[in-house]
């Protein structure tokens, strides 16, 4: 121990240890020779007793003079020896020593120089104050590295071990605690302003005793406090270490009890708290524990008188589970029916989309047959069917119908998503007391993914078929235009000459009315004359021959 360096010649007036520092004060009358020996021993032995992660200050006083140092270098040693230069070796005077170690947490480790003194600090300091200081240093876990031998012990987040014992660790012999999950349940079912939002009962359940009675008592007391707060509906610890609690079950239990009066109930409170909040813990377990407690006791101090309470809680929970199995199976069956119905509706959506696509194709083909083909045949010319005007009509119609097809596909997918969102919301709202949200998600998600993929693939396939039909139809009209219309234009030759327009009347009208009459009048005598002459010659030849 650090104090052993000074107890042989000086008297210890103060020695204490807290989370942040170790402090030692000693004093007494001694000669210069004895003072030199004290200083020499301090420089030779103290530097191996202080952790490298900590800082210290050491002050020596002699004959109303003092020197302070912060390291054990030769320069510091010479500085301290200056206190004795003006005195004879046999002169006696009062010497004082003030030694303070400032402790620092590094790599989740904190030095502990005298565990017994630290235990005294834990016992004499208000529990809530200790918890507040500890919460500021613990991080995820904390290892107290003791400079003197101590029995290795650990909880889920705190451990004690001797220096150099690197094999020990926190939580090695206990299951890791999911703090977020535990505190989410705690906030939904309990309330306390006293407890920092970090500690759970497992943090103070040491696997073995440390061998330091004060430390072991503090951890047991704090484990009892945290367990009682977790079991209670509301609980607060005052400055006099009295717990004011209220437990709302079938009946309400309320009272104020000194924390030390719950020592005998410590183990039962811890077992109930870890069962209700531990692995698989939930609001049902917490409520069941409170209900059973309210049937057996009227105050927490009476808990040790009823050891059967734990068995009663477990038995009631088994009954609760058996009763819940029927509801669970019924709900699972309903979910299966809902999923089967959802699959059927998905296939119905695909069929509806296909029917809509068929109707679109029928409308398009009907239009082509009734409007394009019939009107084209009336013109008795194939080039009229594939004219540019009809091609544009077909293109516009195909474009509009394609937009309608894509909108129908998008609408089907949106309708599917809305339907499954409604199913998910309905199940979580109506069956949250029987099934957890994750279980509902696990049931719905695979079915939703597979059905949506089926709907998407099938609708995409039919959209491709539609696009092929549209492309073939437009391509057919374009090819028909190239074959018939262009060939007709090439066979017709040059266009007829235009007749000059006469002022006062349209050119086409005059050409159609005046010109043909004149031509007929001129041609008729010419045609008659050759015909009458020929007849006379024929008659003359016949008469001669006769």
pLDDT in tens, 157-188: 999 999 877 655 544 445 567 888 888 899 89
Question: Strand, coil or helix: what is 244?
Answer: strand
Distance between terminal CA atoms of the chain?
178
Q: Tell me: the pLDDT tens digits for 102-146?
A: 999 999 999 999 999 999 999 999 999 999 999 888 888 899 999
Task: Please give the Cα distance from 166 to 45 (Å, whole number).
Answer: 24
pLDDT average, residue stretch 478-493: 69
Report pLDDT for 426: 78
Instruction: Please answer whether residues 69 and 58 qualify as being in contact, where contact means their C-beta atoms are separated by less than 8 angstroms.
Output: yes
Please spell the DSSP secondary structure of 377-414, one letter per residue: HHTT-HHHHT-HHHHHHHHHHHHHHHHHHHHHHHHHHH
Annotated domain spans of the chain: 4-102, 109-307, 322-489
Q: Are 401 and 474 in contact (CB under 8 A)?
A: no
pLDDT digits (tens, 9 = 90+) for 223-262: 999 999 999 999 999 989 999 999 998 899 999 999 999 9
Q: Which residue has the tokens 């050491």?
A: 58
Mean pLDDT of 142-157: 91
Mean pLDDT along residues 291-308? 91
Over residues 421-433, mean pLDDT: 76
Say if residues 290 and 234 touch (Cβ distance below 8 Å).
Answer: no
Report the candidate in 82, 132, 138, 129 with the shortest Cα–Cα distance to residue 109. Answer: 138
Confidence class of residue 521 from pLDDT cuts 50, 70 and 90?
very low
Buried b or exposed e, range 433-446, using 16+ CB within 10 angstroms: eebeeebbeebbee
432 pLDDT more than 90: no
Round the average pLDDT of the chain to a whole number and report it: 80
> Is pLDDT above 60 for 155?
yes
Element (H, E) at 217: helix 213-231
Give the model's pLDDT for residue 269: 95
**Under a CB-based contact definition with an 8 Å cutoff, are residues 212 and 231 in contact?**
no
Q: Name the token pair of 468.
A: 């092929």
- In the block, tokens 């001129």 appear at 522
Q: Which DSSP symbol is given to 106? A: B
Taking a C-beta distance cutoff of 8 angstroms, is the pair 248, 290 a contact?
Answer: yes
Tokens of 458: 């099938």
Q: Are residues 364 and 355 in contact, defined by beta-carbon separation less than 8 angstroms?
A: no
Nearest one of 197, 156, 199 to 177, comparing CA atoms: 156
pLDDT of 10 above 60: yes
Instruction: Say what the pLDDT of residue 129 is.
Output: 93
Contacts of 275 (CB under 8 A, 6+ apart): 281, 285, 289, 313, 314
Average pLDDT rounded to a whole number, residues 144-153: 91
Q: From the CA atom positions of the chain, what is the Rg in Å?
A: 53
Percent of the chain clearing pLDDT 90 (strictly above) = 34
Does the reported pTM lie above 0.75?
no
Cα dist from 154 to 201, 407, 474, whole Å:
13, 65, 82
- pLDDT on residue 506: 43
Would you say 243 and 256 are in contact if contact means Cβ atoms under 8 Å apart? Answer: yes
Mean pLDDT of 283-299: 91
What is the token pair recorded at 190?
A: 């309990």
Give me 461's structure tokens. Answer: 């396939």
Angle at 108 between CA 125 and CA 186, to 5 degrees: 65
Instruction: For residues 383-402, give the mean pLDDT.
Output: 78
Q: Which has the higher per-residue pLDDT, 205 or 85?
A: 205
Q: What is the pLDDT of residue 103?
A: 94
């Amino acid at each position: 121990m650090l104090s052993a360096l000074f107890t042989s010649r000086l008297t210890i007036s103060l020695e204490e240890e807290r989370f942040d520092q170790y402090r030692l004060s000693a004093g007494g009358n001694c000669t210069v020779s004895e003072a030199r020996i004290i200083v020499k021993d301090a420089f030779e032995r103290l530097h191996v007793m202080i952790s490298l992660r900590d800082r210290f200050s050491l002050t020596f006083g002699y004959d109303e003079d003092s020197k302070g140092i912060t390291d054990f270098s030769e320069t510091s040693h010479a500085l301290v020896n200056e206190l004795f230069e003006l005195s004879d070796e046999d002169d006696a005077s009062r010497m004082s020593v003030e030694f303070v170690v400032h402790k620092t947490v590094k790599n989740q480790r904190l030095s502990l120089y005298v565990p017994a003194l630290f235990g005294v600090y834990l016992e004499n300091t208000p529990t809530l104050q200790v918890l507040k200081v500890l919460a500021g240093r613990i991080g995820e876990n904390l290892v107290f590295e003791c400079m003197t031998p101590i029995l290795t012990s650990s909880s889920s987040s705190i451990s004690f071990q001797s220096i150099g014992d690197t094999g020990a660790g926190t939580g090695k012999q206990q299951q890791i605690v999911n703090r977020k999950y535990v505190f989410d349940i705690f906030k939904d079912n309990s309330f306390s302003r006293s407890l920092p939002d970090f500690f759970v009962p497992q943090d103070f359940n040491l696997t073995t005793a440390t061998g330091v009675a004060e430390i072991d008592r503090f951890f047991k007391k704090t484990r009892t406090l945290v367990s009682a707060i977790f079991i209670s509906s509301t609980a607060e610890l005052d400055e006099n270490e009295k717990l004011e609690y209220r437990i709302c079950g079938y009946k309400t239990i309320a009272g104020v009890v000194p924390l030390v009066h719950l020592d005998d109930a410590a183990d039962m409170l811890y077992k109930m708290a870890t069962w209700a909040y531990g692995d698989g813990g939930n609001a049902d377990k917490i409520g069941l524990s409170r209900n059973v407690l309210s049937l057996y006791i009227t105050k927490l101090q009476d808990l040790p008188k009823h050891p059967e309470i734990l068995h009663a809680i477990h038995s009631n929970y088994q009954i609760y589970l058996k009763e819940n199995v029927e509801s669970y199976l019924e709900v699972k069956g309903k979910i299966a029916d809902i999923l089967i119905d959802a699959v059927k509706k998905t296939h119905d959506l695909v069929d509806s989309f296909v029917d809509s696509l068929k109707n679109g194709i029928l409308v398009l083909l009907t239009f082509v047959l009734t409007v394009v083909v019939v009107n084209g045949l009336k013109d008795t010319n194939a080039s009229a069917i594939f004219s540019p005007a009809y091609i544009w009509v077909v293109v516009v119609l195909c474009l509009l119908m394609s937009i309608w097809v894509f909108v129908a596909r998008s609408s089907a997918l949106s309708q599917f998503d809305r339907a499954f969102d409604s199913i998910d919301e309905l199940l979580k709202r109506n069956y949250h007391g029987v099934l957890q949200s994750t279980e509902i998600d696990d049931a719905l998600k695979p079915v939703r993914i597979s059905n949506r993929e089926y709907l998407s693939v099938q609708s995409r396939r039919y959209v491709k078929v539609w696009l092929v039909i549209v492309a073939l139809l437009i391509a057919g009209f374009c090819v028909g235009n190239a074959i018939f219309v262009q060939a007709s234009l090439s066979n017709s030759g040059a266009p007829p000459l235009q007749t000059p327009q006469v002022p006062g009347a349209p050119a086409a009208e005059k050409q159609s009315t005046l010109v043909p009459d004149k031509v007929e009048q001129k041609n008729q005598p010419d045609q008659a004359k050759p015909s009458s002459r020929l007849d006379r010659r024929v008659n003359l030849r016949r008469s001669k021959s006769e």
